[in-house]
């Protein structure tokens, strides 16, 4: 799954149990189940709007049986293993008499008894069952042998089980079939089998679609809903004849049938390969598609008909084939399925989901329109497609046994998405962006004591909320970073050799992360590669302990040492590590003369004669930031590096220019170097036009902005940034002929965007005038937007920031009519740039109204408001005042809570704010924080760190900015 903003809610299913649909339909679909269905008390022969009730009040679980605690455990017992499911579902795309959208279904699962037991536990959530006799399900033996009688069935809502108690044990080695008939709500909660909507010229259209990961297949049909419980699936969908039905596999057969006077299609799909429940998918919609083939694999890009007609799927179609071919070569394994469907959904929780053969996306991660979409939208599309297609092998063909090893699944896809995207767009140098997007982004979290290791023990992750919490930046970005480091020191060829062996060995099966280490170690041995330890020796230190090392080198004597890097050096690490927070560190390096041979730091401190360098030479460690660590130098070497940047910055590789800035700022935050040294690394930027060093500086100065934009420091800081960015602004004004043309390369376009966004947001008059001119032109002709797509995010924000209520209303109107979701996203985010508190408060209220802001976008909108200095206290008050409502509406398992808590607290830097945060934690202990629990602890830790940092550095930072700008008074007095 591609990372995104995750929103979900728990919706209570009404007590009424609705019939399954016309008996004729069931008979036509499920002849094999005639025996079970004859036992059913009600097969449902009525229209859903007039369905009668079949009592399915759940029995209370018995309290005296010895097996009492089995159904109170979150993990399934291993007594039963599923082999084959047949699932029939009928979604109703119009509301019933209770104004609810529902689906009806029946399913059977054939399982083998691995160990004699008189209990069947199968996952079920928010499903209402049509009783068969007195029971929620019926059971028969496969192969004609005797079957134990069912004595009781009941639903266990807390642990989400349907429990079937038998009169005698199932026999080991025997196969059985469990059959059930059920109804569920086709809710708009973005989980399980759910409802998405969009509006076209003929009105509102309803889509029935799925999101099963991590634990929501059980909302669609009863199943053994754990990743190791792989099985084959045959899906049948009953759907209106003017709708298309798609699933993981191609269609096997379609027939039409009249049910209650309406024409329905009964579409059966080919049986899937052996796979996990979380990868199952099916969609009923009026979407259309564009298609091509790549080496006999059918590729289809699906979406709203208007979007497909306008060609918004063309870019995705263009890159999918090359990316599939790349991964076939990379894995040395053919794509395992006959087709690859990719669907852009109007309402979707994550960025995308790797369902095998039917990948689902947010529209902004699949659809692209050159007239509206920016280069970053294009990059988003190609990297998310590459991420999801990488999973078709790594994750789908070979699947991790349990969610504690999620990091390997998502970290791997987050690494190779850059390789796949690079194969489709080789001129972009996109692999370089990993350093900014993954490595440095996640280090901010991984330098806290409240971080966590990549891999958990299996018993640490049990509940759906705990599973959701694992889908964090550590799993995705740190996972990607350490795998990139591993590939670098092994060489890509050796890494691929081990990877291919792993995939071939475990195809259609399940693994733990150490299985990959074994196959990589075999590749190391075959190639005679010399390493300071086994793969397991080296990598377990990076996966089983949290954090990362700071490597400190002294060029006067060549000494080099390591220690656990923490932003707050006084904080106490409570999580123990068997490795005592030391790592085996691969160190690449160079001097002005040449790059040296990779060195290894295998103990706390060593002496490396190669690292002894005398003035005026300098030493640079961690070339291209291939290693997951930070670097500190003795003052003499820092001085030489700064001197090199001031005289000829291009003598240092571009990624390492970004590294010098990022390491220095983080070392300053952790009190390893003085804050003025970090600020000194930004002096050369007035001569720098490359994207990566500028972005590293802006990322770090953003922390200064958060800490100081409510103090006098910000005025003179603004003056300094204006001073530094003006040459970049002038460069791109000339290079683009006054903003009328677009630079060619990806990095060049990103650098132009930085020039505009920084100049406008820091008040450079010429940039703000440009925004006003664009706004006036647009107002005169709303059908013609004069702003180049790359510049829209920045210019829209400036328009809203400067234009008051009139501009806000204008942008809101454009948002409501935006024809492309990437355009709507830019407009929606720009609306958070207003400096007017009443407008921002009103906008916060809109996030609770899905007719104004889609549920999938609610938390990202709140986060954007919180990033506005005026909006931050409003967003904090809003979250505190509405936490109970938000939490119950979106559900404790929602992936978005961690981002929400991080965003609204990111400016906290006073004792009063710390007290408020602690009070918030105390006030809401009764309902809790779900997947945001760890984020809340991290927010408390960050706030304490921020308080200390501001107290120690505010006056020093003020003096430095004053010295650089020749100011003796705050710069907020200057006109802009």
228: helix, strand or coil: coil
Token output for 2: 């591609």
SS3 annotation, 430-498: HHHHHHHHHHHHHHHHHCCCCCCCCCCCHHHCCCHHHHHHHCCHHHHHHHHHHHHHHHHHHCHHHHHHH
Listed residue (565, 807, 540, 810) closest to 669, CA to CA: 565
User: So which residues are the catalytic ones?
Assistant: 388
Q: Is the dihedral of CA 476, 482, 484, 486 positive or negative?
A: negative
**DSSP letter, residue 949:** H
| CA distances from residue 251 to 234, 236, 265, 266, 695 in whole angstroms, order as listed | 10, 9, 12, 11, 48
Check: CB of residue 369 under 8 Å from CB of residue 378.
no
| Dihedral sign for Cα atoms in the order 776, 779, 784, 788 | positive
Q: Is 743 exposed, middle or buried (0-12, 13-18, 19+ CB in 10 A)?
A: middle
The contacts found for 284-288 with CB under 8 angstroms, 24 or more apart, are 284/91, 284/93, 284/207, 284/208, 284/209, 284/237, 284/239, 284/240, 284/243, 284/244, 284/245, 285/205, 285/207, 285/208, 285/209, 285/243, 285/244, 286/205, 286/242, 286/243, 286/244, 287/207, 287/244, 287/343
**Angle, alpha carbons 406-407-411 (nearest 5°):** 125
| Alpha carbon of residue 377 to chain centroid | 16
E strand or H helix at 128, and its extent? Answer: strand 127-129
| Distances in whole angstroms, Cα of residue 731 to Cα of each of 49, 140, 603 | 66, 76, 48
Report d(CA 923, CA 930) in Å as an integer: 15
Of the CA atoms within 13 Å of residue 973, those in its CB half-sphere come to 5
Tokens of 754: 């930085």
Cα–Cα distance between 6 and 912 in angstroms, integer? 30
Residue 681 in 3-state DSSP?
coil
Paired tokens of 24: 């004729």
Cα separations in angstroms, 293 against 138, 297, 314, 381, 393: 44, 5, 14, 19, 19
16 contact partners, CB below 8 Å, separation of at least 6: 51, 53, 98, 128
Q: What does the alpha-carbon distance between residue 124 and residue 225 come to, in Å, rounded to a whole number?
A: 9
Backbone angles phi, psi at 606, to 5 degrees: -145, 170
Pairing of strands 339-345, 358-362: parallel
Helix (H, G, I), strand (E, B) or coil at 32: helix
């Amino acid at each position: 799954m591609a990372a995104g903003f995750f929103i979900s809610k728990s919706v209570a299913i009404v007590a009424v149990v609705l019939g399954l649909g016309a008996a004729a339909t069931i008979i036509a679909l499920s002849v094999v189940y005639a025996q079970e269905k004859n036992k059913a008390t009600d097969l449902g022969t009525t229209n859903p709007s007039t369905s009668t009730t079949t009592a399915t009040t759940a029995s209370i679980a018995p309290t005296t049986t010895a097996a009492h605690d089995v159904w109170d455990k979150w993990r399934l017992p291993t007594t039963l293993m599923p082999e084959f499911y047949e699932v029939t579902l009928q979604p109703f795309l119009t509301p019933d008499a209770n104004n609810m959208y529902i689906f009806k279904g029946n399913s059977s699962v054939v399982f083998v008894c691995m160990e004699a037991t008189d209990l069947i536990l199968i996952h079920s959530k928010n499903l209402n069952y049509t009783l068969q006799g007195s029971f929620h399900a019926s059971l028969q033996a496969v192969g004609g042998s005797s079957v134990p009688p069912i004595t009781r069935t009941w639903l266990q809502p807390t642990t989400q089980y349907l429990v079937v108690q038998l009169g005698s044990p199932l026999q080991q080695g025997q196969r059985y079939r469990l059959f059930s008939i059920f109804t569920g709500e086709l809710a708009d909660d973005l989980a399980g089998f759910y409802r998405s909507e969009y509006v076209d010229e003929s009105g509102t259209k309803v889509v029935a679609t799925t999101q099963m990961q991590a634990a929501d297949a059980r909302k669609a049909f009863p199943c053994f809903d754990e990743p190791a419980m792989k099985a084959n699936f045959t899906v049948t969908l009953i759907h209106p004849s003017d709708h298309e039905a798609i699933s993981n596999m191609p269609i096997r057969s379609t027939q039409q049938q009249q049910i209650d006077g309406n024409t329905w299609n009964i579409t059966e799909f080919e049986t899937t390969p052996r796979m996990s429940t979380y990868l199952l998918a099916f969609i009923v919609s009026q979407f259309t598609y564009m298609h091509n083939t790549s080496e006999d694999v059918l590729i289809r890009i699906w979406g709203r008909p208007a979007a497909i007609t306008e060609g918004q799927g063309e870019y995705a179609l263009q890159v999918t084939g090359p990316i599939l071919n790349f991964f076939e070569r990379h894995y040395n394994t053919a794509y395992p399925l006959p087709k690859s469907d990719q669907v852009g959904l109007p309402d979707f929780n994550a960025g995308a989901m790797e369902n095998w053969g039917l990948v689902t996306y947010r529209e902004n991660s699949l659809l692209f329109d050159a007239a509206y979409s920016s280069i970053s939208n294009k990059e988003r599309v190609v990297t998310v497609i590459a991420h999801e297609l990488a999973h078709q092998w790594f994750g789908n063909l070979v699947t991790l046994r349990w969610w504690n090893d999620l990091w390997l699944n998502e970290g791997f896809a987050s690494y190779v998405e850059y390789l796949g995207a690079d194969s489709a767009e080789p001129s972009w140098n996109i692999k370089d962006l990993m350093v900014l997007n993954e490595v440095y982004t996640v280090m901010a979290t991984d330098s806290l004591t409240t971080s966590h290791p990549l891999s958990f023990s299996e018993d640490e992750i049990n509940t759906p909320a705990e599973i959701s919490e694992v889908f964090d930046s550590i799993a995705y970005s740190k996972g990607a970073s350490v795998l990139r480091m591993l590939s670098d020191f092994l060489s890509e060829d050796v890494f691929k050799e081990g990877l291919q062996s792993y995939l071939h060995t475990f195809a259609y099966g399940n693994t733990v992360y150490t299985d990959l280490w074994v196959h990589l170690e075999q590749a190391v041995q075959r190639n005679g590669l010399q390493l300071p330890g086994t793969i397991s020796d080296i990598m377990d230190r990076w996966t089983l302990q949290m954090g990362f090392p700071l490597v400190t080198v002294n060029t006067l004597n060549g000494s080099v040492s390591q220690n656990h890097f923490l932003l707050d050096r006084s904080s106490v690490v409570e999580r123990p590590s068997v490795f005592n927070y030391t790592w085996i560190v691969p160190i690449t390096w160079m001097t002005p003369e040449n790059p040296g041979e990779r060195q290894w730091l295998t103990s706390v401190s060593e002496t490396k004669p190669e690292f002894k360098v005398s003035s005026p030479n300098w030493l640079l460690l961690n070339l291209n930031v291939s290693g997951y660590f930070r670097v500190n130098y003795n003052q003499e070497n820092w001085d030489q590096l700064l001197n090199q940047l001031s005289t000829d910055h291009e003598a240092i590789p571009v990624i390492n220019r970004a590294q010098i800035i990022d390491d220095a700022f983080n070392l300053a935050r952790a009190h390893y170097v003085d804050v003025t040294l970090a600020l000194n690394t930004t002096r050369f930027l007035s001569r720098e036009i490359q994207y990566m060093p500028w972005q590293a500086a802006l990322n770090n100065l953003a922390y200064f902005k958060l800490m100081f934009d409510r103090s006098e420091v910000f005025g003179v800081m603004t003056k300094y940034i204006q001073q530094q960015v003006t040459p970049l602004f002038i460069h791109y004004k000339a290079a683009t002929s006054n903003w009328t043309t677009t630079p060619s390369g990806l990095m060049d376009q990103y650098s132009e965007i930085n020039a505009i966004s920084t100049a406008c947001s820091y008040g450079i008059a010429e940039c703000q005038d440009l925004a006003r001119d664009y706004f006036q032109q647009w107002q005169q002709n709303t059908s013609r937007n004069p702003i180049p797509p790359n510049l829209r995010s920045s210019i829209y924000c400036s328009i809203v920031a400067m234009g008051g209520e009139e501009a806000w209303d204008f942008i809101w109107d454009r948002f409501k009519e935006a024809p492309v979701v990437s355009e709507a996203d830019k407009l929606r985010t720009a609306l958070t740039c207003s400096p007017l508190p009443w407008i921002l408060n009103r906008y916060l209220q809109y996030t609770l109204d899905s007719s104004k802001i889609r549920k999938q976008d609610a938390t990202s909108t709140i986060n954007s408001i919180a990033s506005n200095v005026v909006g931050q206290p409003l967003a904090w008050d809003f979250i505190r005042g509405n936490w109970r409502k938000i939490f119950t509406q979106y559900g404790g398992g929602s992936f978005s809570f961690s981002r929400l808590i991080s965003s609204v607290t990111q400016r906290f830097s006073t004792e009063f704010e710390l007290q408020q945060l602690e009070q918030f934690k105390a006030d809401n202990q009764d309902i809790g924080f779900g997947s945001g629990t760890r984020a809340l602890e991290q927010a408390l830790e960050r706030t304490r760190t921020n308080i200390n940092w501001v107290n120690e550095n505010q006056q020093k930072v003020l003096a430095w900015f004053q010295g650089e700008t020749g100011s003796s008074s705050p710069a907020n007095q200057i006109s802009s």
